[in-house]
Structure 1
Amino acid sequence: MEILNLHDVTYSYDKKKNILKGISIQMETGKMYAILGPSGCGKTTLLSLLGGLDSPSSGKILFDGKDIEKVGLGNHRKNYVSFIFQGYNLIDYMTPQENVRLTAKQPALPFLERLGLSKDEAKRNVLKLSGGQQQRVAIARALASKAPIILADEPTGNLDEDTAQDIAEILKESAHKTNKCVVVVTHSNELAKQADIVLRLMRGKLQMEQLY
């Protein structure tokens, strides 16, 4: 089922440099999307627009057929989107369990254990965890949310190869088994291979990509 619809979306900095040039795409629940492209091409900008963190210079972004700006970007972020940020964005005076509970009413520990954290680690202050462990907490927080959209910016960037593979499979499972729309920005072809649809952002345009 279609959940996100971009209509001729453009974005420019200071009305000078066009980063995104007339992007139109429909995204569905139950699918995982991967967006590839070189650094600085606008991948994270596109993710921010999908999540209501910024507004396009022109064009519209629809969620469930409604313009997210007219409905309210804050409402869109709060109720319909869960983010996995490259910089984690955890509350640093809280434990992993407390961070996950911010987005979910259900128990946090099963999500954290599924991502490789022990009961003891789940009770520590997040600043006492490694970067890779903090990334897992950020992923657990997104998975525990009831929001129908997961937006992930380089979710496996700080993880070892085996853990990265596990995370890729968990994200795909979130799309296929819990019917979420998962959109991942990545440099990793291995992560992209797990996606149902692979897109490449080049010179401000999105195009379908075939990975072998």
Structure 2
Amino acid sequence: MPTLELKNVSYAYEKGKAVLQNVSGPLETGKMYAILGPSGSGKTTLLSLLGGLDVPTQGSVLFDSEDITAKGLEHHRRNHISLIFQSYNLIDYMTPVENVRLTAKLDAAPILERLGLERDEITRNVLKLSGGQQQRVAIARALASDAPVILADEPTGNLDADTAEEITAILKESAHAFGKCVVVVTHDREVAKQADVVLEIKLGHLKEREYK
């Protein structure tokens, strides 16, 4: 049974421009999905709909076969979803350890160090870290959460190639070893190659594609 499911989802901006048209499909536990498409094709919009940050113009998003609006979008976001934003969305007066503790009951230090942060860096204010380091904190916060779904918007965009490869492997491990449903919006070919399923948005439609 899919963890998340899109059912005839369409989305249009206020001026009437259709971004997504009658999109349907399952997103299953234990798999990593990559969503591809040109800029402006609706990738981030789709991620927002899956995460309950927005609602479809038509159709519905289901979690465990129930419409996510049934118990409220806030309930969905709080209990089911862990988000990795392009803009990090860290609490800027906190340290990396404190940011991760917002979503996790476990010790934050090991996962931050696994993502390449040094011991002295994890106790600094996040504003004193580089963009790449802040991105790692955002990823650590998502990985440490108990939420069954990880939604990531260009998670490797500010990272060097070696770190991006390591982060991708950790996201994939989160799906395979820890039973998460991982959905990654990306332009990175190497990230897409590592995904179990590659989906492409083209002219408002979502289709599975071969990608090797």
TM-score (norm 2): 0.99
2:20 maps to 1:20: yes
- Name 1:199's counterpart in structure 2: 199
- Name 2:132's counterpart in structure 1: 132
Q: Cα distance, 1:15 vs. partner? A: 5.2
Q: Cα distance, 1:107 vs. partner? A: 0.5
- Name 2:49's counterpart in structure 1: 49
Q: Helix, strand or coil: the match of 1:19?
A: strand
Please give the per-residue CA displacement for 1:101-150, whole angstroms capped at 9, x wherever unaligned: 00001100011001000110000000000000000000000000000000
Please give the per-residue CA displacement for 1:168-207, whole angstroms capped at 9, x wherever unaligned: 1000000000000000000011101110000110110011
Aligned mates of 1:112, 1:25 — CA distance in 2: 34
- Name 1:70's counterpart in structure 2: 70
Q: Helix, strand or coil: the match of 1:23?
A: strand
Aligned mates of 2:66, 2:163 — CA distance in 1: 37
Aligned mates of 1:141, 1:30 — CA distance in 2: 19
Q: Helix, strand or coil: the match of 1:187?
A: coil
Q: Give, as a single letter, the amino acid of the residue that structure 2 aligns with 1:8.
A: N
- Name 1:37's counterpart in structure 2: 37
Moved over 4 A (4+): none
2:171 maps to 1:153: no
TM-score (norm 1): 0.99
Q: Helix, strand or coil: the match of 1:119?
A: coil
- Name 1:116's counterpart in structure 2: 116
In structure 2, runs of 5+ residues without a counterpart are: none
Q: Cα distance, 1:9 vs. partner? A: 0.1
Paired positions, count? 212
- Name 1:173's counterpart in structure 2: 173
In structure 1, runs of 5+ residues without a counterpart are: none
Q: Give, as a single letter, the amino acid of the residue that structure 2 aligns with 1:139.
A: I
Q: Give, as a single letter, the amino acid of the residue that structure 2 aligns with 1:52.
A: G
Q: Cα distance, 1:85 vs. partner? A: 0.2
Aligned mates of 1:162, 1:104 — CA distance in 2: 26
Q: Percent identity?
A: 67
Q: Give, as a single letter, the amino acid of the residue that structure 2 aligns with 1:96.
A: P
Q: Helix, strand or coil: the match of 2:194?
A: coil
Please give the per-residue CA displacement for 1:49-97, whole angstroms capped at 9, x wherever unaligned: 0000000001011100110011200000001100000000000000000
Aligned mates of 1:15, 1:125 — CA distance in 2: 41
